Amino acid sequence: MNKLYLWGIIIAALMLLFTYMSVAGSEGGLNGDIVNILAVAGAVALVIITVFVVIKYVRQMQTDTADGQLADEQWDGIGEYLNNVPTGWAIMFLLTMVWGMWYFIIGYPVNAYSQIGEYNEDTQAHNEKFETQYASITGSRLIEMGESVFLAECKICHGISADGIDGKAANLNKRLEAKVVKHVVENGSNNHLLGTEMPMPDRNGLFNNNTGALITDAEIDAVSAYVANGMRGAGADVFAGACAACHGEDGKGMEYVAPNVAAFTTELVANVLTHGKKGAIGQMPKFDRLNAKQKEAVGAYITSLSK
């Protein structure tokens, strides 16, 4: 027997043996599990096809000589023969198409049982039960729930004490820092803080009504410090002239117009968790894995920190 074929048989046998031992040694083994059976069948097919193809082309390289008609096109002086598609390749290609259709329609259809599907159904049922059970929670109990969710989901960036871990994330013990306000004034914002798209223009669209001119660098610094200082100190006149028309004279915002910049609100925090937020520090992701009650609870907890 040709050594090439002998080595092919040996390698195929070893690979098949290794595949069988891996599956048989795993928890559950085959045991009629359609997923494991299909996986083994696919592995066997791949081993046989791979060994066959390797043997064929190695043998072909050993014995064949270049002949045939070259195509007119060349790439860097390299030509291509006008050869027909190899019969074996065409057959294997068609067989893999048939296998794929069989797999998705009969062998393991798309709507068949899956562990992921079962997990998603269980999670949905649990969330529905959770929302029903805790729907009426308010006050201190809601804040306690929010603290638990915060420690599980938010502390990795904002820290256990919600101080932002030296600028890694926003300091939630105060509504806004000066650099955050300045970034928003200069660049605008569209972070769905009201739950809908209500974009704030950048500095090229902000006028100080007291002067009638576009807001200046000095005025931006002043109003940023004013808002960051809890709506106190210098910069009140700039806020009144450039910001109060949307955010209100007290900075507590206007419904459907602009968010509260004086203090956190439960709704504002819930909207950030739902839509995410981009600002001076970077991008905060949205938290789809939290349900509405959990977001409300986190909002109640964060609101309680700055009181």
Q: Is 207 helix (H, G, I), strand (E, B) or coil?
A: strand
151 and 295 part of one domain: yes
Q: Does 127 fall in a domain? A: no
Q: How confident is the model at residue 307 (pLDDT cuts 50, 70, 90)?
A: low
pLDDT of amino acid 38 = 76
Q: Could you read off the pLDDT of 13-55 as tens digits, one per residue?
A: 888 888 777 766 665 555 656 767 777 788 888 888 888 888 8
Secondary structure E strands in the chain: 70-75, 78-81, 207-208, 213-214, 277-278, 283-284
Q: Give the tens place of pLDDT for each residue, 69-118.
A: 888 888 888 888 887 888 888 999 999 999 889 888 887 777 777 788 88
Q: How far is CA 224 from CA 87, 192, 207, 218, 289, in A?
A: 74, 21, 15, 10, 34
Alpha-carbon distances, residue 242 vs 119, 182, 201, 230, 262 (angstroms)? 51, 13, 12, 17, 16
Please report the beta strands in 203-286, taking only residues with DSSP state E, as ranges in sequence order: 207-208, 213-214, 277-278, 283-284
φ, ψ (nearest 5 deg) of residue 74 = -135, 150
Q: 20 and 104, same structural domain? A: yes
Quickly tell me which residue has 């409300």 as its tokens.
Answer: 296
- On whether residue 44 sits in a domain, the answer given is yes
| Residue 191 and residue 104 share a domain | no
Q: Domain total for the chain?
A: 2
Confidence of residue 66 (pLDDT cuts 50, 70, 90): low
Specify if 23 maps to a domain: yes
Residue 130 lies in a domain: no
Supply the pLDDT for residue 162.
Answer: 95
Say yes or no: 165 and 291 in one domain: yes
Q: Does 61 or 33 have the greater pLDDT score? A: 61
Domain of residue 85, residue span: 3-115
pLDDT of 233 over the 80 cut: yes
In this structure, are 48 and 165 located in the same domain?
Answer: no
What confidence tier does 197 reach under pLDDT thresholds 50, 70, 90?
Answer: confident
pLDDT at residue number 29? 56
- The residue from 100, 115, 130 where one domain ends is 115
Q: Average pLDDT, whole number, for the chain? A: 87
This prediction has a pTM of 0.62
Domain-terminating residue out of 97, 115, 133: 115
Residue 103's pLDDT is 84
Distance CA 62, CA 275 (A): 62
Predicted confidence (pLDDT) at residue 203 exceeds the cutoff of 80 = yes
For tokens 């599990």, what's the residue? Answer: 33
Q: Quick: pLDDT tens for 263-289.
A: 999 999 999 999 999 888 889 999 998
- What residue has token string 């002998």? 6
Quick one: 180 and 48 in the same domain? no
In-domain check, residue 134: no
> Would you say residue 180 has pLDDT above 60?
yes
- Token readout for 226 is 């004013």
Q: Is residue 301 over pLDDT 80?
A: yes
Q: How far is CA 233 from CA 129, 207, 216, 218, 274, in A?
A: 49, 21, 19, 15, 34
Reported as a pLDDT band with limits 50, 70 and 90, residue 1 is low
